């Protein structure tokens, strides 16, 4: 989850009518609080940019913000988002100001990659268990993703969180948790065969029972 850079625009007017005018102009009203701010700051964000931040990082995006006019910069996390229940219009957002030098915990996506011979040959299936891990690091060091390469795995091998490496900070997710594994297709086939045989035997038994009944009726 790399930082998403945006510009914030100070607001001089607040209230319902001012908010409507702001949205009509293509911007979203917002409030910034936290990080020893004595009072919350009222600002606005470009709505199209805000939607792009959602698409890249979800509703817990980390933003590198520059205040229009003053050039002041700060970091913030999207803390709360109000969306219209019918139109899906973004009505308002709350931003939490983050101290630059204090580590924080963030969810970082895992980028699963590889060209595995066993999977390519049909001897194994790739089973992905986790798609993200929690990383503790400074705000400016948040990695965009952590790469997980399964190319060299053999059938039955797995990768756990403890085997992952992050370019910055440390991974705080339980190291024993599984990320992915290569499951043997032969074992899957063996597991399916007894089930099929049992089903066939049950059907045969029903047919036999039906035949006996017919015989009794004939007598």
CA distance 62 to 133: 16
Please say if the pLDDT value at position 119 is more than 60: yes
Summarised one tens digit per residue, pLDDT across range 97-109 is 888 888 988 888 8
What are the chain's domains?
4-98 (2.40.240.10), 104-185 (2.170.120.20)
CA distance 8 to 30: 9
Per-residue pLDDT at 107: 86
Per-residue pLDDT at 72: 85
Per-residue pLDDT at 78: 85
The two structure tokens encoding residue 172: 């705080």
CA distances from 111 to 7, 105, 208 (A): 29, 19, 55
Contact 51, 93 (CB under 8 A): no
Summarised one tens digit per residue, pLDDT across range 120-168 is 999 999 999 999 999 999 888 888 889 999 999 999 999 999 999 999 8
Query: In the chain, pLDDT over 70 holds for what percent of residues?
Result: 80
Q: Are strands 90-98 and 27-33 parallel, antiparallel or unpaired?
A: parallel
Per-residue pLDDT at 219: 43
Per-residue pLDDT at 216: 47
Per-residue pLDDT at 218: 47
pTM for this entry: 0.66
Summarised one tens digit per residue, pLDDT across range 32-78 is 988 667 667 889 999 999 888 887 777 667 888 999 988 888 888 88
Summarised one tens digit per residue, pLDDT across range 198-218 is 565 555 555 555 555 454 444
Per-residue pLDDT at 2: 60
Helix (H, G, I), strand (E, B) or coil at 64: strand
CA distance 173 to 148: 15
CA distances from 58 to 81, 151, 212 (A): 11, 29, 65
Contact 103, 87 (CB under 8 A): no
Per-residue pLDDT at 3: 73
Contact 155, 135 (CB under 8 A): no
CA distances from 150 to 20, 120, 160, 217 (A): 51, 12, 11, 64
Of residues 169 and 37, the one with the higher pLDDT is 169
């Amino acid at each position: 989850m790399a930082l998403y850079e945006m510009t914030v625009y100070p607001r001089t007017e607040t209230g319902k009518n001012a908010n409507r005018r702001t949205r009509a102009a293509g911007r979203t009203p917002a409030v910034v609080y936290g990080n020893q701010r004595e009072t919350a700051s009222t600002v606005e964000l470009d709505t199209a940019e805000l939607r792009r931040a959602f698409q890249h990082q979800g509703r817990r995006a980390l933003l590198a913000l520059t205040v229009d006019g003053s050039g002041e910069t700060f970091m913030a996390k999207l803390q709360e988002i109000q969306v219209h229940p019918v139109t899906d219009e973004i009505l308002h957002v709350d931003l939490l100001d983050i101290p630059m030098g204090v580590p924080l915990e963030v969810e970082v996506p895992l980028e699963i990659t590889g060209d595995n011979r066993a999977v390519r040959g049909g001897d194994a299936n790739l089973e992905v268990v986790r798609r993200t891990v929690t990383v503790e690091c400074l705000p400016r060091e948040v990695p965009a993703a952590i790469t997980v390469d399964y190319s060299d795995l053999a059938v039955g091998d797995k990768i756990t969180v403890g085997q992952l490496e992050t370019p910055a900070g440390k991974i705080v997710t339980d190291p024993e948790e599984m990320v992915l594994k290569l499951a043997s297709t032969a074992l899957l086939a063996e597991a399916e065969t007894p089930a099929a045989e049992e089903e066939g035997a049950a059907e045969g038994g029903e047919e036999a029972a039906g035949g006996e009944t017919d015989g009794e009726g004939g007598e």
